[in-house]
Amino acid sequence: MRKFIERIFAGLAVLLLAACNIPDQNTPKGFLYTVEAETFTAEQNRLASLTPPTPTFTETPTPTVTPTPTATGTATLVPTPTWIMYPAGEADVFVLYYHDIANNADEDPYYQWESPYNVTTLEFEQQVRTLYELGYTSITLSQLIRILYEGGELPPRPVMFTFDSSKRGQYVNAYPILQKYGMVGNLFLYSQQVDQKNSISADEVREMMAAGWEIGSCGYDGSPDPAHYGREIGMSKVDLEEMFGLPIEAFAYSGGIMDANGEMVSRVSSALYKIAFTKQQTIHQTKNILFMLGRYEINKGVSYGDFFQLLPWQEGSVSEDTMTWSLPSPTRDPIEYTQTKEAFDAQQAATPPAP
């Protein structure tokens, strides 16, 4: 009887627990229980699938602003002109021949208004500017000598400025104008006139040489008398070498003119000059004419057009400013100049020659 009563109470307890739907405390969370035929069947119920997951906050870094690269201009390289290799014995060189660069007697006491030999400063600068803009490069006597005797390189469009006199216009005008355009010249001096009154001084010549100019001989005093050839050619060389302490290797015939029988050429060669210049118009300088090299004489009044036609290399462009370079009006009245010149000549005649 007692056992029967215990079974009844046990059954009632089971029914009571099922009705209350109370899970075992040791059952893992996430399981629900049902009662079927007195059997507990555990069913997994993933609460996570019933409840939306809490989103995980991920910190997004603030993007770093990358600056757009600034375009850097590439420097335009100006190619250095390729120099031209010449074999020994020949070279194409444009040689210009001037007498004096002066505008008035204040710049050069020997200035002669009516003389075609006095090229004005504006004319000269127009010519230099033209050559500069067309890419000509000035060279010196020693460079030409080296090419003719040994061969070597010269810049494209080589030009040589030569001046045959000891007048001060070369120092006062030609020198600074050429320097302005990065060019140099070559002086052919009358040895007897250097350091004389109203002529170029030895110190002025040395200053020009220090700036890249070179010198040669144009004679002693320019006498055309054949009896004076020895003095004009030989003595002038010795005088200039003693005066400036370097070998004189180039000669320019006075006025650019040789004698008809060739005696001067023979004398120049015997005096151990290496080259000599005439005023024969040619740019092709060769070993066959070492003592008759060519030059282009430039006198006063040469227009831009006429000068341009002389140029052996004309390709390129010349600025409008250069082509229309204003030329000066006469700075002195011819009659006034003649009267002044007569007074100057009288003064010179009364001045005793230097010892």
pLDDT in tens, 21-32: 544 444 444 444
88 touches 287 (CB < 8 A): yes
d(CA 316, CA 135): 8
Q: What is the pTM of this model?
A: 0.71
Mean pLDDT within 58-71: 44
pLDDT band of residue 348 (cuts 50, 70, 90) is: low
CA distances from 320 to 130, 141, 214, 235 (A): 11, 32, 33, 48
pLDDT band of residue 272 (cuts 50, 70, 90) is: very high
Mean pLDDT within 280-303: 97
d(CA 54, CA 39): 36
Predicted local distance difference test score (pLDDT) of residue 11: 56
pLDDT band of residue 213 (cuts 50, 70, 90) is: very high
Give the homologous superfamily in CATH for domain 84-312: Glycoside hydrolase/deacetylase (3.20.20.370)
- For 160-186, give the DSSP string: EEEEES-BTHIIIIIHHHHHHTT--EE
Higher pLDDT: 328 or 129? It is 129
What does the domain layout of the chain look like in residue ranges?
A: 2-47, 84-312
Predicted local distance difference test score (pLDDT) of residue 1: 55
Mean pLDDT within 264-284: 96
Across the chain, mean pLDDT equals: 80
Q: Are strands 296-297 and 250-252 parallel, antiparallel or unpaired?
A: unpaired
Burial of 92 (0-12, 13-18, 19+ CB in 10 A): middle
Element (H, E) at 15: helix 2-20
